[in-house]
Amino acid sequence: MSHRIIYRFRRDLRLEDHLALTRALAEGRLVPVLLLDDLTVARVRANARRTAFYCAAVAALDDALRARGANLIVRRARRAGPALVSLARSLDARAVAWSWTYDGPGLADDRNAVQALEEAGIRALISHDAPVLSPEEVDLQRHAAGEGYRAFAPFHAAWRRVALAGAASEHLLDGAFDVAGIDGEALPIPRDFGHEPAALEFAGGAPAAAHRLAAFLAYPAREYAIARRLFAGPPTAHLGPDLALGTISARRVVRELRVLAGRPYAVMEERRSYEEAERSLALRDFFLQLSWHWPRTHDKPLQEKAVALRFAEDAVGVDAWEHGTTGYPLVDAAMRELRARGWMHPKARAVAASFLCFDLGVSWRRGREIFDRYLIEDDAALATGNWQWVAGVGADMAQYPRIYNPVRQARTFDPEGRYVRQWVPELAGVPAHAIHAPLGAPPREQMELALFDAARYPHPVVDHGAAARAFLARYRAALSHT
Ligand SMILES: Cc1cc2nc3c(=O)[nH]c(=O)nc-3n(C[C@H](O)[C@H](O)[C@H](O)COP(=O)(O)OP(=O)(O)OC[C@H]3O[C@@H](n4cnc5c(N)ncnc54)[C@H](O)[C@@H]3O)c2cc1C
């Protein structure tokens, strides 16, 4: 008789190309479980769109299981460890399997759950599924295995040397699940998380994610290098929320990009775009391994010396930043895009984050928390790594923080002002030469454009040049004492 194994779905809400699921299958027949524990609920409930996306992804997973004669067994519990122990006992399961999560609190929870299961004499089978390559695989490329990489360039060089696993056959899942006689609770709906159902620009769930990937590869992927740079250029992949919930496999994305890059008739610009898209997936793996090796970075900077550098938790201007009324059109467009879509252009994120940290002097933790109020993507490890990178306290080893000039960035990467016009309608009528610094235009022009009207576009909350110089002075002073 085959043994029963509980498979706990969490941030891997799909059946296809799933390493942790494949590994668990070797041990017995699987009871597919979704645990709505406090940590999961706290992440999912951050905003109504994220909740709707999550509920749709769970429902799609349940549909996929039903097509295989099973269904998702849902349980609500406070803490994962004790809940998994009691479930394993009641189902007479000999092991509980799941895939690692990578952010600090999630990792601590995983380790507690492993301990609780082992103390109860139940095996915990925990594997990597979310990254393209596991942290260990990339570590093994150098002698100091197990130490992790603090800089992206050596990580990327090692990452490219590791062979990518092929996709497992779907037939492996034939007869894989065993839910006979097991009752579950209802699937989660947005109201369980305190939200009304929200309309989504991008549908949630593995089938929708597969469509999104196909649509990206069909055309926009060949312009990815431009898409990453131009704020109102061709679309980027919009796969962040899917990769965060595991509704698509990161390995599949890389495999398909490599097929495109390897086509003999792909022109050089296209090939460069495919390679740049692959690099983005490598960057994702880099930040996941960073959090995996240094989970303390969830609330402390990676660079120990940066602890001396004090950022404020609040400042005049934070509210304006959150609401897109700083008087810097690019920053405002970015924050308004975030609030309107639950997504922000990747490069705009760096400019908006730089403004908060350097122009307003506010901590990356506060910025991460405010982004989290709106982002559908729910990946705290990526959020942390990127925020620290921008704030100059993380993996970026540049000698000085890169302080983005929001006006110069806008003039270079939104030269006609299309992005700003789309998200800041007050400026829709301002010509391209004035749109990125409207109150720097000659007074007569400002009057003609009605820019003085208080109900119109606000004055800048800070002077960027002065704020940047003041920050750099503080930075030098803080680091000279370490
Ligand atoms: C300040 C700041 C905060 C961020 N916060 C988050 C966050 O909370 N959650 C999150 O998932 N991403 C975050 N990112 C990373 C990145 O901006 C998003 O993953 C990306 O914008 C998602 O859109 P996309 O799928 O269209 O990206 P694409 O450019 O199409 O990239 C495809 C995929 O590659 C990965 N990727 C691309 N850029 C990065 C990067 N810089 N770091 C890590 N992975 C990357 C993502 O998984 C992304 O979905 C943040 C970046 C910055 C600068």
Predicted confidence at residue 453, as pLDDT, reads 59
The residue whose C-alpha atom lies closest to atom 38 belonging to ligand 1 is 280
Q: Give the chain's domains with CATH numbers.
A: 4-129 (3.40.50.620), 130-164+206-293 (1.25.40.80), 304-480 (1.10.579.10)
* pLDDT per position as a tens digit, 341-399: 999 999 999 999 999 999 999 999 999 999 999 999 999 999 999 999 999 999 976 77
The residue whose C-alpha atom lies closest to atom 30 belonging to ligand 1 is 237
Of 104-113, 196-205, 470-479, give the lowest mean pLDDT range: 470-479
The residue whose C-alpha atom lies closest to atom 37 belonging to ligand 1 is 280
**Residue whose CB lies within 8 A of the most ligand 1 atoms, among 228, 247, 279, 284, for a mutation test:** 284
The residue whose C-alpha atom lies closest to atom 21 belonging to ligand 1 is 346
Looking at the CA of residue 379, tell me the nearest atom of ligand 1: 9
Average pLDDT for the chain = 94
Instruction: Measure 281 CA to ligand 1 centroid, in angstroms.
Output: 9
In which band, very low, low, confident or very high, does the pLDDT at 439 lie, cut at 50, 70 and 90?
Answer: confident
Instruction: Measure 193 CA to ligand 1 centroid, in angstroms.
Output: 25
**Residue whose CB lies within 8 A of the most ligand 1 atoms, among 155, 280, 283, 337, for a mutation test:** 280
**Residue whose CB lies within 8 A of the most ligand 1 atoms, among 297, 298, 349, 366, for a mutation test:** 349
Sheet containing 95-99: order of strands: 73-76, 29-36, 4-9, 95-99, 123-127
Instruction: Measure 346 CA to ligand 1 centroid, in angstroms.
Output: 6
Instruction: Measure 142 CA to ligand 1 centroid, in angstroms.
Output: 27
Interval 23-41 mean pLDDT: 96
In which band, very low, low, confident or very high, does the pLDDT at 96 lie, cut at 50, 70 and 90?
Answer: very high
Instruction: Measure 286 CA to ligand 1 centroid, in angstroms.
Output: 12
Contact status, residue 419 vs residue 341, Cβ threshold 8 Å = no
Predicted confidence at residue 454, as pLDDT, reads 47
Instruction: Measure 468 CA to ligand 1 centroid, in angstroms.
Output: 25
Instruction: Measure 58 CA to ligand 1 centroid, in angstroms.
Output: 22
Looking at the CA of residue 241, tell me the nearest atom of ligand 1: 11
In 3D, which of 314, 348, 316 has the Cα closest to residue 418? 348
**Residue whose CB lies within 8 A of the most ligand 1 atoms, among 156, 345, 382, for a mutation test:** 382
Instruction: Measure 284 CA to ligand 1 centroid, in angstroms.
Output: 7
Q: Quick one: 477 exposed, middle or buried, by C-beta within 10 A (0-12, 13-18, 19+)?
A: exposed
Interval 162-176 mean pLDDT: 90
* pLDDT per position as a tens digit, 105-147: 999 999 999 999 999 999 999 999 999 999 999 999 986 667 8
In which band, very low, low, confident or very high, does the pLDDT at 401 lie, cut at 50, 70 and 90?
Answer: confident
Looking at the CA of residue 380, tell me the nearest atom of ligand 1: 8
Please give the Cα distance from 280 to 254 (Å, whole number).
10
Predicted confidence at residue 304, as pLDDT, reads 83
Looking at the CA of residue 367, tell me the nearest atom of ligand 1: 1
Instruction: Measure 229 CA to ligand 1 centroid, in angstroms.
Output: 13
Instruction: Measure 370 CA to ligand 1 centroid, in angstroms.
Output: 16
Residue type (1 letter), 359: D
Measured between alpha carbons, how far is residue 253 from residues 60, 96, 131, 281, 310 in Å?
20, 28, 11, 8, 40
Instruction: Measure 292 CA to ligand 1 centroid, in angstroms.
Output: 18
Q: Is the pLDDT of residue 290 over 50?
A: yes
Instruction: Measure 480 CA to ligand 1 centroid, in angstroms.
Output: 33
The residue whose C-alpha atom lies closest to atom 20 belonging to ligand 1 is 346
Interval 235-261 mean pLDDT: 98
Please give the Cα distance from 319 to 459 (Å, whole number).
14
Residue 97 has phi, psi (to 5 degrees) of -120, 150
Residues whose CB is less than 8 angstroms from the CB of residue 149 and which lie 6 or more positions away in sequence, other chains included: 138, 139, 155, 158, 286, 289, 290
Q: Is the pLDDT of residue 422 over 60?
A: yes
Q: Is the pLDDT of residue 262 over 50?
A: yes
| H-assigned helices in 9-130 | 19-25, 38-44, 48-66, 80-91, 104-119
Q: Is the pLDDT of residue 462 over 90?
A: yes
Percent of the chain, pLDDT > 90? Answer: 85
Instruction: Measure 224 CA to ligand 1 centroid, in angstroms.
Output: 13
Q: Which of 178-182, 417-421, 474-478: highest mean pLDDT?
A: 417-421
Find the helix packing angle between 268-293 and 380-391, rounded to 10°.
100
Percent of the chain, pLDDT > 70? Answer: 96
Protein residues whose CB sits closer than 6 Å to any atom of ligand 1 = 228, 236-240, 243-244, 280-281, 283-284, 287, 346, 349-350, 353, 371, 375, 377, 379, 382-383, 386-387, 390
Looking at the CA of residue 350, tell me the nearest atom of ligand 1: 53
Q: Is the pLDDT of residue 445 over 60?
A: yes
Residue type (1 letter), 20: A
Six-digit token string for 38: 């406090």
